[in-house]
Structure 1
Amino acid sequence: MGSLRRVVLIDDDQINNFVCETIIKNNNFANEVLSFEWAEDAVAFLSKVSQETPENFPDLIFLDINMPGMDGWSFIDEYRKLPEEITNKCCLFMLSSAVDRKDVITAKNMQEVKDFFSKPLSPEILDFIKDEFISE
């Protein structure tokens, strides 16, 4: 059994989502992993869950920055509209191949974003998150 119930991946890259899902499952990091290739779909899902079954809101979200349609920054604007008592229980991390220093600084200065990681996701990143952000 993983230490988290549900992790959500938001990234337009199918292969990256598959790799992330595999790493998360192989490291028993979470019981369930949901992937969204479109941030708009993730917002709709999170909005519905927050209204209908808030206990099923994800424990953690990995969010890419550069995506077609709604990008990571626009996703965060929408995420802020969700009930704070629910989002406060969720750890949101940027996971991006973006290497622009401004993006990293912007992300780390956002209250909603716990940290910024460069792709690819690794077992070491999961261990760091467990150690720093998840209470057993």
Structure 2
Amino acid sequence: MTKKLNTILLLDDNPATNFIHQKFISRVDCTEEIVTFQGGFDALDYLGSKTKKALELMLVDINMPMMDAWDFLEEFQKIENPHVKDTKVILLSTSVSASDFEKAKQIPIIRGLRLKPLTVKAVHEIMDEFFPDIDLTE
């Protein structure tokens, strides 16, 4: 059986973006589970108490109402659930600004910034860079 990630979490206030990203990740067939959230508070609730499987990757939209990526990640880092301690975070945006890059450099858990929407190729690139031991389908 091919090794896969346990869980990838998508956090974007736009349900269509979550849907598209979910489809592309499914096509790559790199994870057992994809969980999606449209708001940071719901995602934090899930991450703090409900998840019982390792969460290896989070794709987080930078600009969201109520709680943007920066506020979300500040709260995420306070979570003491052992299943999320090694999570890699990729920030997503429709336009990545220089200030976003600078801010991201200050937060060690952020592993990169990507333009959205993601593509199948982008998912492959993320997987190859951060999870090279995972065999990917085409």
Alignment match of 1:74 (pick from 71, 76, 85): 71
* 3-state secondary structure, aligned to 1:22: helix
Deviating 4+ runs (over 4 angstroms): none
Q: How many residues matched?
A: 132
Identical counterparts, % of pairs: 28
* Cα pair distance change 1:120/1:108, threshold 3 Å: farther
Alignment match of 2:106 (pick from 102, 105, 109): 109
Native 8 Å contact 2:63 2:69 kept in 1: yes
Native 8 Å contact 2:40 2:68 kept in 1: yes
* Residue matched to 1:43: 44
Task: Give the TM-score, by structure 1 length.
Answer: 0.87
* Residue matched to 2:118: 121
Task: Give the TM-score, by structure 2 length.
Answer: 0.86
* Residue matched to 2:26: 25
* Cα pair distance change 1:77/1:106, threshold 3 Å: same
User: Distance in 1 between the 2:49 and 2:81 partners?
Assistant: 15
* 3-state secondary structure, aligned to 1:24: helix
Task: Please list the CA deviations of residues 14-33 of structure 1 after superposition, one character each: whole Å capped at 9, or x if unmatched.
Answer: 10000000000011121211
User: Distance in 2 between the 1:84 and 1:114 partners?
Assistant: 20
Q: Which runs of 5+ in 1 are unaligned?
A: none
Q: How far is 1:84 from its partner? A: 8.0
* Residue matched to 1:130: 127
Please identify which structure carries the higher helix content.
1
Q: Which runs of 5+ in 2 are unaligned?
A: 134-138
Native 8 Å contact 1:92 1:114 kept in 2: yes
* 3-state secondary structure, aligned to 2:74: helix
Q: How far is 1:2 from its partner? A: 6.4
The higher-RCO structure (CA 8 Å, 6+ apart) is 2
Query: Match of 1:35, as an amino acid?
Result: T
